[in-house]
Structure 1
Amino acid sequence: MPVSRRAVIAAATLAPLAARLGHAAEPLIRRPIPSTGEMLPAIGIGTSRRYEVEPVPDKVAPLKEAVQAFVSRGGTVIDTAPSYGTAEDVLGVILAAAGLREKIFLASKVDTTGHDQTLAEFERSLKRMRVDAIDLVAVHNLIDVNDNLAVLRDLKSRKRIRYVGVTVWRDDQLEALEAVMKRETLDFIQVNYAIDNRAAAERVLPLAADRGVAVMTNVPFGRDRLFKAVQGRELPSVAKDLGCASWPQFFLKYVLGNPAVTCPIPGMAKAAYVEDNLGAARGKLPDAAQRKQMETFIDAV
């Protein structure tokens, strides 16, 4: 991750070592997929950018280490897409490790048009990731959403995927997302949501709760925008009240403080970042008053 993240982690006021070790021993918070009740750990890995490397051993090694650390600490959710460069190929190398695929809730997407082209893209994803089925496939950025949802539902009926969803990542897509959510039965949505980008909380997240739709949230650090904003600053008192040991935990605990959110998916390309980010899914989450304090702090920086 960029230097800005390393800098803010180093500058943050960290909890005492003994407290951090005790905190790490706590189980991860888990949240249900409303359509089935299946429980998911409340932090996942997003592979956009970070996993778009050449799928060769020396490039894949640190990413494999990160995924293995993630799984060993109770994580399961990994999200990718055919459009993320080589990310699916890299995951294929990583998931080939003995016993690893069975421990992963694997999510990908379709982002082409036309029935045959979408099926072909799905088959390519299976081949690239070296898997026989994918847990969740979503229509990426609402592309050809009606026809692609029909293809995905057929794949679900044939048990080639288990869940169907749609994704967006920009505020100007939220109105269209809301319309799809109102007319379609979905297992998941994926939407952009962060402490300094709260538009999804106005209507989309409440609608997901009303409709019984699981929510993955992307860009929870605002493409590192948040790290740059807080660089050189100490964690506020509300962070310490919540047991946050770093700024990433502060940002992620805010997102998880919204009960409609099932699972944020920050990029995690190093085992150290896995350990840090998963800390947000342990211990206390902010209540409404604490979330307001967190918003006020960030809005002022």
Structure 2
Amino acid sequence: MSHTEGYSRRRLLSLAAGVSAVCTLNRALATTSAVTLPSAAGDQTMLTRAIPSSSESLPMVGLGTYRGFDVAPGDPVYRQLPAVLDELFAKGGTVIDSSPMYGRAEQTTGELLSIHEPSSPAFLATKVWTRGRDEGIAQMEQSFSLLRTERIDLMQIHNLLDWQTHLPTLREWKEQGRIRYIGITHYTPSAYDEVEAVLKAEQLDFLQINYALDDRGVEKRILPLCRERGVAVICNRPFGGGGLLGRVKGKPLPAWVSDVQVNSWPQLLLKFLLTHPAVTCVIPGTSNPRYMVDNVKAGFGPMLTDAQRHQLIALVG
């Protein structure tokens, strides 16, 4: 799968019809975790951050498929999904994250991307979520099949389930070129001690972890450790599981939002996360093209200052 070729809206839409269908932060940003500014295309290309283990540039806003992609052809929601991918790719986003625990999401993703081989720019991330070596291999093979790909960019051990068993397989497959990066995930503060222990003990490429303006527990130890260990960070649950959006609904945006080129609360909440130098990418989930259009805008323009971050924290709590 190519990561440099373009993307065709018409071809995605044709599939839908055919099947009925992210004081010290500023200093840190200026050093090891600097944002890569778009070149040539100007404001048409999303900002990127380097994956520490490879220096490969990764666009800062991606897409989560939990719930939104757990739909079948014939469902009205399914018919919206080609446009969701269109909006992601058109603005330079590439990361699409899924999991076997997300119902039909892997299969739906594979269907929507299959007609674009080898031209899809997608950076495919999924997970192994079972116990046992053979069971893990079987599940990952099924992910390859459902995603309709011969290579998965990022394979993650979901919620650290049986991680000691799966990690050797992931390393072997990475050496073989079947997967490009390996990582672990979690989404609850109760797991932070175990996450920290694994990060210290093992060499990993990625950590996917819960981080939101109202869920900042990872800032104390996890994010600094990732910077120290050279681990890229993908933020899941960037809207705090959805409750955060409800808390800010109806509140006026701060007067300075135009300085950071955002015009909505979702964009501002995502940019709050992307301003942290340890964060590589955010993956808000949606099945609505309008929300995808809004989300990707967080990957453009200046990051927040320390003062702006502190104001948001005080505003939301």
Compute the TM-score of the two structures, normalised by the length of structure 2: 0.84
Distance change in 2, residues 1:221/1:101 (3 Å):
farther
Question: How many Å separate the matches in 1 of 2:254 and 2:191?
Answer: 33
Which amino acid letter does the alignment assign opposite residue 248 of structure 1? P
| Distance (Å, rounded) in 2 between the aligned partners of 1:242 and 1:232 | 20
Partners of 1:45 and 1:74 in 2: how far apart? 12
Runs of 4+ in 1 over 6 A off after TM superposition: none
Q: How does 1:1-301 map to 2 (within 5 A)?
A: 25-56=43-74, 58-99=76-117, 102-299=120-317
- State the identity %: 41
SS at match of 2:238: coil
One-letter amino acid of the counterpart of residue 264, structure 1? V
Q: Could you tell me whether the CA contact under 8 Å between 1:217 and 1:263 is conserved in 2?
A: yes
1:161-207 Cα shifts (integer Å, max 9, x gaps)? 00000000111111110000000000000000001100011100000
SS at match of 2:164: helix
In 1, distance between residues paired with 2:281 and 2:71?
Answer: 25
SS in 2 for 1:224: helix
SS at match of 1:124: helix
Q: What is residue 7 of structure 1 aligned with on the other side?
A: none
Structure 1 counterpart SS, 2:155: strand
**Alpha-carbon offset, residue 58 of structure 1:** 4.7
Instruction: Please give the per-residue CA displacement for 1:242-271, whole angstroms capped at 9, x wherever unaligned.
Output: 222100011001000101000010012122
How far is 1:224 from its partner?
Answer: 1.4
SS of the counterpart of 1:172? Answer: helix
**Residue range with higher mean Cα deviation, 221-230 or 211-220:** 221-230
Distance 1:151 1:55, change over 3 A: farther
State whether residues 77 and 287 of structure 2, in contact with CA within 8 Å, keep that contact through their aligned partners in structure 1.
no
Contact 2:73 2:79 survives alignment (8 Å): no
Residues 78 and 101 of structure 1: CA distance in aligned 2, closer, same or farther (over 3 Å): farther
1:92: Cα distance to partner?
1.2
What displacement does 1:151 show? 1.2
Counterparts of 2:57 and 2:43, CA distance in 1: 19
Distance 1:181 1:42 in 2: 22
Distance 1:101 1:268 in 2: 23
Measure how far apart 1:57 and its partner are: 7.0
Aligned residue number for residue 13 of structure 1:
none
User: Following the alignment from structure 2 to structure 1, what is the Cα–Cα distance between the partners of residues 119 and 289?
Assistant: 18
TM-score relative to the length of structure 1: 0.88
Aligned partner of residue 99 in structure 2, secondary structure: coil
For the residues of structure 1 that align with 2:72 and 2:122, how far apart are their CA atoms?
Answer: 22
Structure 1: which 5+ runs fail to align? Answer: 1-23
Q: Say how many residue pairs are matched.
A: 276
- 2:116 maps to amino acid: A
Q: Please give the secondary structure, in 1, of the residue aligned with 2:279.
A: coil
> Per the alignment, in what secondary structure is the counterpart of residue 269 of structure 1?
coil
Gaps of 5+ in 2: 1-41
SS at match of 1:262: strand
Q: Residue 181 of structure 2: SS of its match in structure 1?
A: strand
